[in-house]
Structure 1
Amino acid sequence: MNELPLPSNVGGGGGKAPGLPKSLLNYVPEPLQPLFENPFFSAGFGLVGLGSIMALGRKGFQTSLIQARRYFFVSVEVPSKDKSFHWLMEWLALKKGTNTRHVSVETTFHQHESGDIVSKINFVPSVGTHYVMYKGRVIKVDRTREKNVIDMNSGNLWESITLTTLGTSRDVFHRLIEETRLMAMDKEEGKTIIYTSVGTDWRRFGHPRRKRPIQSVILDTGVSDEIIADVKKFLSNANWYNDRGIPYRRGYLLYGPPGTGKSSFINALAGELQLSICILNLAGKNVSDSTLNHLLSTAPQRSIILLEDIDSAIPDSVVQQTSQKLQLQQQSQQNQGYEGYGFNTYGGGGGSSGSGLTFSGLLNALDGVAASEGRILFMTTNHIQKLDKVLIRPGRVDMKMYIGLSTPYQLERMFLKFYPGEIDHAKKFVDLLANHTVSPAQLQGYFMQHSDDPIKALENYNQLLTDKTIAAPKTE
């Protein structure tokens, strides 16, 4: 049978189109050579082979990029829940604020010494990819935001920043984050940061406050120095506690009449020792036993946890119910021959209904098995007689300090604070109030009425005495 002529566009002209060249056919097994001599099959094989080669090349290129990124680039991801995320955002605002076209607006506030708050608008790189120079190196900044994921700490959408640069060492990121931290700390230098509990998280309350000088809170002779010395000793003796197997935590109770400077002293103490203050409201609706444990264990480092008016934190009925149960447990243990071993199980009962905080839960949080370490806890009360003894026993409260009404020493010191150098007038003022008691807060309010004239403060002292809410005769 005659062979059919091939189309003119296949092979050369109108003759028989050649298959694979003979030089290549020699490498093909004999049974398959007729198949490869077919021009249509050989043409298709060539296209498939070319496509396979291109696919393999593309895959190899992608793999090479992945390997190059793995071995020749370093990166770090900073999530929005981490403190360093905000440090980086402030740093990027300064670094890229002038030459970045795609930015987001971030408004910050600054509080002056007078209390005035001034707003400042910063432009930070928006979501996307940006490039910055840091110490001669190009750093790629990828800012991403999840649309359906909420950061429970801030209530905002979840974000992250990924930093990438050429190299094999992460030291550049350590230096960068440390630089951003120092920059942020400079803004808070000389200020006290206040935190408050929101659910299971600690959030900053208001703006950082100017540190209150410890000398501005005038307590009775030696009281302030004794507390400061004890806290300093605790902060510097972590190894001493660990070596002796003693839980590394310290509790303080300041008690006395209202207006005597208990809270003011704690504020000044935090400034003196460069600590922050975490205000914990036990009467909150969302505070439960587990919430309290979580808050105490996650409090910011180098901070004072403050429980103000601890006598009002839990209803008296709940305290009495738990106290009675603890006494029954103690009697039961003594009857069973465990006298001397003590007890520290406060679980079960003794609590309010629902998921609120129980008195037994408070006791366990303060010194139970799960109690946090490295903690400085201050409690204040105006009515120490209302506190159950199990709450303020050693181990939960290590130092009790009475902060009372003004003594002659305090009267003189406060007079000189408002009227420096007026020593004679200060002594006369002390003599005028020799038979009366007055709180430091009441004295301060009176001196502020006559802030410019010590003579008027002496002449009008009867205004201080006639006000029954301000002063009362001393009782022996």
Structure 2
Amino acid sequence: MVPQNPTLEGIHDAATSSSLPNNPKSWFEGIDNPYFQAGFGLMGVTVILGGLRKFATFADVFLRRRLLVQVEINNKDRAYPWLLSWMAHQNQIQQSARRRSASLLSKSHRLSLETTVEQHQNGSSSVSFNLVAGTGMHWLKYRGAWMQVVRERDTRSMQMMSGSPWETVTITTLSQDRDIFPQLLAEARDLAMRGQEGKLVIQTPWGTEWRPFGLPKRKRPLHSVVLDNGIAASIENDLQSFLSRRIPYRRGYLLHGPPGSGKSSYIQALAGSLNYNLCLLNLSERGLGDDKLTYLLSTVPERSFVLIEDVDAAFNKRVQTSEDGYQSSVTFSGFLNALDGVASGEERIVFLTTNHVERLDPALIRPGRVDFTQYVGDATPTQAQTLFERFYGTEPVETIDVGQSLHDLVEEEIKNGKRISMAALQGLFIRNHDAQSALAACRQTFLEIKST
């Protein structure tokens, strides 16, 4: 037998026992070490919290994608004020307890004040105050569906033209209720348009945008503007033919004639009869250049006429200079390119007016830029009688006789070389409330014209 070395065997056993303990008790004794427990506990808590955070983020994203739907509206969108007004209207409904189809929770403590000033035709004004949802989170119940409404305002980002801060309203609801959004927005639109029924909206450039100018005006009846026989019908037929074909072209109309003949009034009445708005464009406006003009004419709001009055004054010598020495930056070639250039808008209707058609450059009134030209002159005897009868009625025999007398009077004045404008006759009829006094006023006015 080979003798074993007790010294080496002892050393081997000691090393083995110290590095790989076979006794389970030694393991539990190590776990009971307070330093080990503290480190393991902190690491475990960190891992668990990190996992919970990731799970919460994943669950939030998953639920939003699968179960929720959002609509965001910024204050540059036209629907933004409609939505705020609609919310204010629903708040009033809740307070009056007359309807429950939609209501803002009365627990909302963040409100915003909106002041509306309405100017009446008699010079008086009325002021109303509305409390709408302010910045923050609100809850809304509409047609049985709960919605979260968040209004946010970023004061660090300001709109360049208006100077107002950037705002957004975000509406969140369940994905199954997404069909409610079109109904809600349509109801907000109808509520906003309700105050404009029978009104004509006039818009003017504000920077590079078209914005309403003043309050909507009451539409003028088309029959209140009396033109000579066949003129109104020819313009309306041409326009209706263009609109019915819905082709991607532009249409330009030029109405020329002496002042007070009813050119602008007829365009305004025609726009109202077709439920179109009117966009007024002044070519001599400060800050208006070729690029800006092209952009404005290419972004005309839908269902709108563009009206450019006294176009002869803008380009009499192809350069515009005002009394204070200001020279318009709109060039003649820039104006022509804006009317029918490559970047010009489609399905656009432009009306031009002038008192001196002979001053217009032939390049401006060629087809493609001006497609329909119509002369609107001074009052004819038939026009004067028609306007008179529309002011004072046609049924009484006396009114008809007075109207015929006015017809003969105007006819005689025209034969004598006198020019009578429709605006002058209209002013006389407005000041006199009965037919006889109106006829007497006309005779007196024509006599004064003779003496001068």
- Structure 1 segment 28-427 matched on structure 2, within 5 A: 38-97=33-92, 98=95, 99=106, 100-112=108-120, 116-152=124-160, 154-168=162-176, 170-238=178-246, 241=247, 247-314=248-315, 316-318=317-319, 356-421=329-394, 422-427=399-404
Deviation at 1:167, TM superposition (A): 2.1
Q: Distance in 2 between matches of 1:161 and 1:93?
A: 14
Closer/same/farther in 2, CA of residues 259 and 36 from structure 1, 3 Å limit? same
> AA paired with 1:66?
V
> AA paired with 1:362?
F
Deviation at 1:288, TM superposition (A): 0.5
Deviation at 1:472, TM superposition (A): 10
Closer/same/farther in 2, CA of residues 173 and 292 from structure 1, 3 Å limit? same
TM-score by length of 2: 0.83
Deviation at 1:151, TM superposition (A): 2.4
CA offset digits 1:53-91 (Å, max 9, x no partner): 123123312321222122211111101000111110110
Unaligned 5+ segments in structure 2 are: 1-22, 96-105, 414-418
State which of 394, 406, 418 in structure 2 corresponds to 1:429.
406
CA offset digits 1:227-285 (Å, max 9, x no partner): 122212211211xx3xxxxx511110010000011111011001100000000111011
- Percentage of matched positions with identical amino acids: 44
Deviation at 1:132, TM superposition (A): 1.0
Kept after mapping to 2: 8 A contact 1:446/1:464: no
Closer/same/farther in 2, CA of residues 264 and 115 from structure 1, 3 Å limit? farther
Secondary structure at 1:292 match in 2:
helix
Kept after mapping to 2: 8 A contact 1:113/1:210: no
State which of 416, 440, 446 in structure 1 corresponds to 2:422.
440
> AA paired with 1:427?
Q
CA offset digits 1:203-241 (Å, max 9, x no partner): 110101111000000111121122122212211211xx3
Q: Which moved more, 1:213-222 or 1:418-427?
A: 418-427
Kept after mapping to 2: 8 A contact 1:88/1:180: yes
Closer/same/farther in 2, CA of residues 317 and 267 from structure 1, 3 Å limit? closer
Closer/same/farther in 2, CA of residues 114 and 128 from structure 1, 3 Å limit? same
Kept after mapping to 1: 8 A contact 2:380/2:411: no
For 1:466, the equivalent position in structure 2 comes to 447
Q: Distance in 2 between matches of 1:46 and 1:101?
A: 44
Deviation at 1:412, TM superposition (A): 0.5
CA offset digits 1:173-206 (Å, max 9, x no partner): 1221122112212221111100011221111101
> AA paired with 1:272?
S
> AA paired with 2:344?
A
TM-score by length of 1: 0.79
Kept after mapping to 2: 8 A contact 1:81/1:153: no
- Asked if residue 455 in structure 1 is aligned to residue 430 in structure 2, the reply is no
> AA paired with 1:157?
P
Kept after mapping to 2: 8 A contact 1:153/1:201: no
For 1:349, the equivalent position in structure 2 comes to none
Kept after mapping to 2: 8 A contact 1:103/1:124: yes
Kept after mapping to 2: 8 A contact 1:95/1:132: no
> AA paired with 1:402?
Y
Kept after mapping to 2: 8 A contact 1:80/1:151: no
> AA paired with 1:53?
I
Secondary structure at 1:389 match in 2:
coil
CA offset digits 1:120-159 (Å, max 9, x no partner): 2111111111111111011111111110222245431111
CA offset digits 1:27-54 (Å, max 9, x no partner): xxxxxx9976755224421331133212
Deviation at 1:168, TM superposition (A): 4.5
Kept after mapping to 1: 8 A contact 2:227/2:383: yes
Aligned length: 405
Kept after mapping to 1: 8 A contact 2:380/2:410: no
Q: Distance in 2 between matches of 1:23 and 1:189?
A: 91
Closer/same/farther in 2, CA of residues 22 and 281 from structure 1, 3 Å limit? farther
For 2:14, the equivalent position in structure 1 comes to none
Kept after mapping to 1: 8 A contact 2:203/2:278: yes
Q: Distance in 2 between matches of 1:218 and 1:166?
A: 57
Deviation at 1:396, TM superposition (A): 0.4
Q: Distance in 2 between matches of 1:372 and 1:180?
A: 30
For 1:6, the equivalent position in structure 2 comes to none
Kept after mapping to 1: 8 A contact 2:145/2:177: no
Secondary structure at 2:329 match in 1:
coil
Q: Which moved more, 1:79-88 or 1:459-468?
A: 459-468
Kept after mapping to 1: 8 A contact 2:71/2:172: yes
> AA paired with 1:438?
I
Kept after mapping to 1: 8 A contact 2:339/2:369: yes
Q: Distance in 1 between matches of 2:237 and 2:203?
A: 25
Deviation at 1:459, TM superposition (A): 3.2
Q: Distance in 2 between matches of 1:312 and 1:355?
A: 12
Kept after mapping to 2: 8 A contact 1:217/1:264: yes
Closer/same/farther in 2, CA of residues 317 and 208 from structure 1, 3 Å limit? closer
